[in-house]
A and B are shown apart, each in its own frame.
Chain A
């Protein structure tokens, strides 16, 4: 059996956690990702920027009733990368 290479962008704890959350919802606010992952704001901010640079997520900054909001949404490229990552994982796990 040939092992597929794991996507280095996704193969790290926090980025994978963020992608797993975003694949399950239509969109999520920064505070939701922070709460669910228990990450610090700084670390989460850096990691979601990396995901954005890879084209895996879209980030929209907006104001809602004077409250600043950072909305994150997975892109089609992100969905494809996530699916490929899971398929690659399955080859390692013999699933």
Chain B
């Protein structure tokens, strides 16, 4: 682009083009969705095995979340290099997921101390659905919207099964809400990279 003086009409066209370009920019590798999806799937499946006494676990399987949290920080730092712009949508996503993380922490730690039992799991599914659905709506990404709805349906079902089977419903919720959309995002991410290389 050269440095030239524009007519009024050209200025308006340029503004509109640039705003449209900026709005279409997104960076989403799907890594976080896969990371947390698989962690939840593994943790809740292990918790189920532990509850039905298929095998005794030497530690609480949910401690694995701590490792995922550290991995998340590491990947965030790495991905920051490749993220060329922070959009207002990105900011909204961050707020929504931060609120979700705080809510889950309060629920699981508080619920554990108060020993409220399996009722914590339907509430967890309810919480899983909220940020997933909102994220899907913000980014117009249908798999997240459907994943969020799936979590809410599983939440209703889990209200009727207040036993250790609910662990499997939460594991299924994680798979539907994050693992499947995560793989779709990952595929899209690699396709974008390939397109960029072809363009160069």
Contacts and interface: CB of A to CB of B under 8 A. Distances in A.
A92 B4 CA distance: 19
A1 to B, nearest CB: 14
Q: State the main secondary structure of chain A at its contact with B.
A: helix
A21 B18 contact: yes
Interface string A17-55: 100110111111101100111110001000100000000
Interface stretch (B60-68, B74-82, B122-130, B169-177): B74-82
Contacts of A25: 22, 25, 85-88
B6 A12 contact: yes
27 contacts: A12-B5, A17-B14, A17-B18, A20-B17, A24-B19, A24-B87, A25-B22, A25-B25, A25-B86, A25-B88, A26-B85, A28-B85, A28-B86, A31-B84, A32-B84, A32-B85, A36-B21, A43-B3, A64-B80, A64-B81, A65-B78, A65-B81, A69-B81, A89-B8, A89-B11, A93-B9, A93-B12
A13 B3 contact: yes
Interface in A39-95: 39, 43, 47, 64-65, 67, 69, 86, 89, 92-93
Given A21-B21, A32-B25, A92-B8, A16 B14 contact: yes
B22 A13 contact: no
B85 A16 contact: no
Interface-centre pick from A13, A25, A31, A43 (highest chain B CB count, 10 A): A25
Nearest to A27: B86
A35 B6 contact: no
A92 B197 CA distance: 42
Contacts of B81: 64-65, 67, 69
Contacts of A15: 3
A25 B81 CA distance: 17
A17 to B, nearest CB: 5
A20 B25 contact: no
A37 B84 contact: no
Contacts of B140: none
A36 B18 contact: yes
A26 B86 contact: yes
B4 A12 contact: yes
B15 interface: yes
Contact of B88 (A14, A17, A26, A92): A26
